[in-house]
Amino acid sequence: MTKRQAHHWLGWLQRWGMLPRRLVRHTEAEDLLKSLYEQQRQPAGVQASSSPILRHGPELSELLQQLRQEGYLATDSFALTERGEQRALELIRAHRLYELYLAEHSGYTPSEWHRLAHTKEHQLSSSEHQRIASLLGNPLYDPHGDPIPTAEGVQAELPEALPLEALQPGSWYYVLHIEDDLVEAYHYLTDLGLTRDSIFQLQTLESGICRLYYEGEAYDLPVQFLSSLHLRLATAQELKESHAAEVRRLSTLAPDESSTVLGLSPSCRGPMRRRLMDLGFVRGSHISIEMRSPLGNPTAYIVRGATIALRRDQARYILIQDPKLCPQE
């Protein structure tokens, strides 16, 4: 059995609860180690997003004992040893590298990246870390905007973000980082297409509900979901280059309309992004609808003289100019 096949079977057994208890305990102990590392580096006065004591309950003492036996934890406290810090950073590096690998080289959705990377982080060796990092061009950040530690444990700083109370309706904001610890908020935001490098307008902010204008559409969401976004004000140059105030998604184009492609959504990554660009969906391309299927999905578009059928979930990645703003031919 190859190493890749072994990893596949380990993942399958873990999902079905059929791994030997010692392997499950090893994974849980390393999860606790990483959690302790992240909590101990929270800025003063910041509440940690989760508690390892609450998460592991009565098994906590067993896991702590294992970490101490492996030399990862001090014998009389929760403090990590130098070896423990190194292992925690290795796990964080593996997780974030693998999430970026999935974003750039697989068809998995953002909601699946974390689950798959969590399994893989306990299996990857340091040489595999380096191979993935080299393939990706030694990146500084993962797809959510979290810094990726180097093999030496050095990591970039997160840019300073605005506090929630500083956000003002009517302003345009640039997404620096999207937090994936709060699962409900993360899934909601990514389903809207928000990702690192997205630019949106905060239209309203009142009574626990806010409205965002993003890629030509307005969305209402709970205000607390904004806390999962690390934001700064978008610059005038960024607004100009992204055409954020005038774009629409291709999926909203009507049969009697035509438009011009302005680019692809920042949420479109990896193989899908490369495929759409290869098909001619690049800035400046004229586009119109040739015909729709009886159920309206897929739709055949004419772009650069070719007819190309796209599903609605593919067409939403393509940003076009609002047809009302297009020059008349």
pLDDT of residue 7: 44
Looking at the fold, whether 225 and 111 belong to one and the same domain comes out as no
What are the structure tokens assigned to 33, written together?
A: 């180690």
| Domain C-terminal end among 135, 153, 187 | 135
Number of domains within the chain: 3
Looking at the fold, whether 106 and 82 belong to one and the same domain comes out as yes
Looking at the fold, whether 209 and 309 belong to one and the same domain comes out as no
pLDDT of residue 231: 96
pLDDT of residue 108: 85
Looking at the fold, whether 231 and 252 belong to one and the same domain comes out as no
Looking at the fold, whether 271 and 229 belong to one and the same domain comes out as no
Looking at the fold, whether 10 and 106 belong to one and the same domain comes out as yes
pLDDT of residue 243: 93
Looking at the fold, whether 197 and 309 belong to one and the same domain comes out as no
Contacts 24+ apart (CB under 8 A), 1-9: 7/120, 7/123
pLDDT of residue 312: 93
pLDDT of residue 91: 93
Domain of 182? 164-240
Q: At 290, which CATH number?
A: 2.30.30.90
Which single residue is written with the structure tokens 């992204």?
242
Q: What is the pTM of this model?
A: 0.78
The answer to whether residue 228 is domain-embedded is yes
φ/ψ of 45, rounded to 5, equals: 85, -5
CA distances from 115 to 13, 14, 99, 111, 170 (A): 15, 12, 9, 8, 36
| Domain C-terminal end among 189, 207, 240 | 240
For the chain, 329 residues long, the average pLDDT of each consecutive 10-residue run is 43 45 73 86 53 53 87 88 92 93 88 87 89 92 90 84 93 93 89 94 93 96 93 96 94 93 94 93 94 86 94 95 73
Looking at the fold, whether 104 and 50 belong to one and the same domain comes out as yes
The answer to whether residue 157 is domain-embedded is no
| Domain C-terminal end among 208, 225, 240 | 240
Looking at the fold, whether 236 and 264 belong to one and the same domain comes out as no
Looking at the fold, whether 264 and 217 belong to one and the same domain comes out as no
Alpha helices in the chain (DSSP H): 3-15, 21-40, 52-56, 60-69, 82-105, 110-120, 126-135, 183-191, 236-242, 270-278, 312-315
The answer to whether residue 70 is domain-embedded is yes
The answer to whether residue 158 is domain-embedded is no
The answer to whether residue 185 is domain-embedded is yes
What are the structure tokens assigned to 82, written together?
A: 């130098």
Looking at the fold, whether 121 and 184 belong to one and the same domain comes out as no
The predicted-structure confidence for 264-303, as pLDDT tens digits, reads as follows 999 999 899 999 999 999 999 999 999 988 877 899 999 9
Q: At 79, which CATH number?
A: 1.10.10.10
pLDDT of residue 53: 44
pLDDT of residue 6: 43
**C-beta separation of 185 from 228 below 8 A:** yes
Looking at the fold, whether 173 and 291 belong to one and the same domain comes out as no
**C-beta separation of 162 from 231 below 8 A:** yes
The answer to whether residue 258 is domain-embedded is yes
The answer to whether residue 147 is domain-embedded is no
pLDDT of residue 185: 92
pLDDT of residue 43: 58
The answer to whether residue 279 is domain-embedded is yes
